[in-house]
Amino acid sequence: MQAAAPIVQFGHVRKQFAGRPVLDGISFTIRRGEFACLLGPSGCGKSTTLRMIGGLLREFEGSVLVEGTRPEDRWRSLAFVFQSPRLVHWRTALDNVAFGLELREPGMRAEERRRAALQYLVMMGLALDAGKYPAHLSGGERQRVAFARALAVDPALILMDEPFSDLDVNTRERLRDQVITIWQATGKTIVFVTHDVDEAVYLADRIFVFSRKPTQILRILDVGRPRPRDLERDPALAELRREVRALFATQREPPHGFPSAGDGQPPEPAGPRGRGSWSGPAPRLGG
């Protein structure tokens, strides 16, 4: 498995919704095994981009290739972790983890599925919660179940769409470390969407910075710092963070005097979710 081989390729991808351009000619390549962060303001088309990779959105201009072919033929190579856990409420944590396998490999024996599911639950530190229903799990636990569900189908590529943005700061920071640990242990490719500068700097091998819509790629940044990272102590990371923030500042005021980032979008809810994101003050990381 050569590290530099491309796993996802976008070539001049454009996408409109109801005549309004969202993606305005996007080209980039994600390498096998890397941790890629797509960073951009709310509503710029990050989820749309992930859907295209996942073959869930098939109408667009330009070319999207996953492992060299059409995404709709490669759905077996990847799994999603969404912003909300999307667990099914009638199944326990264990059976939710097994659910992805059950959908993907209906021929597999139930016992075998559950054994695999348990292994990933244990990996996520949820062995004692296997029998609990989602209603009895905390937000962070649910999201870990969702992550285990994605891991259980053993995909080459995991697509994570702002998976921690609904969680409190402490949980978020713990889960970031957990994702890094598992990524390092499994060698999978992760495409991680976020609108949080610090999160991208903390996690990514490379950061793909998206502009406001109509969206283009502003810059692709190599982070290239060892892990575990500390944004406060590592001057290179601090510098990188400054650079990305500056890049964002140019994106804050839209041209032609339109209201900022929202652009017809409902505003982001206030509260912990807004912290450390696009325009807010950054929380301390890793301290």
Ligand X SMILES: Nc1ncnc2c1ncn2[C@@H]1O[C@H](COP(=O)(O)OP(=O)(O)O)[C@@H](O)[C@H]1O
Rule CB under 6 A: which residues touch ligand X?
A: 17-18, 22, 40, 42-48, 265
Match 């636990």 to its residue by tokens.
141
Can you say how many angstroms the Cα of residue 254 is from the centroid of all Cα atoms in its chain? 25
Report phi then psi at 191, rounded to 5: -110, 115
Retrieve residue 153's tokens: 């189908």
134 interacts with, out of ligand X, Mg ion, other proteins, none, CB within 5 to 8 A per kind: other proteins
Per CB under 8 A, does 107 bind other proteins?
no
Nearest distance in Å: CB 275, other proteins: 17
Nearer to ligand X, 27 or 138 (CB): 27
| C-alpha span between 100 and 117 (Å, rounded) | 9
Per CB under 8 A, does 153 bind other proteins?
yes
Nearest distance in Å: CB 193, ligand X: 7
Nearer to ligand X, 69 or 265 (CB): 265
44 interacts with, out of Mg ion, other proteins, ligand X, none, CB within 5 to 8 A per kind: ligand X
| C-alpha span between 26 and 84 (Å, rounded) | 26
- Kindly identify the residues of this chain, within the stretch 65-94, that bind other proteins according to CB under 8 A: 72, 75, 79-80, 82, 84-92
* Segments of 129-253 assigned E as strands: 157-161, 189-194, 206-210, 217-222
Nearest distance in Å: CB 248, Mg ion: 17
Nearer to ligand X, 47 or 92 (CB): 47
- Kindly identify the residues of this chain, within the stretch 28-87, that bind Mg ion according to CB under 5 A: 47
For 85, residues 6+ apart whose C-beta sits below 8 A from its C-beta are 134, 139, 142, 143, 145, 146
Per CB under 8 A, does 278 bind other proteins?
no
User: Do 217 and 209 meet the contact criterion of CB atoms below 8 Å apart?
Assistant: yes
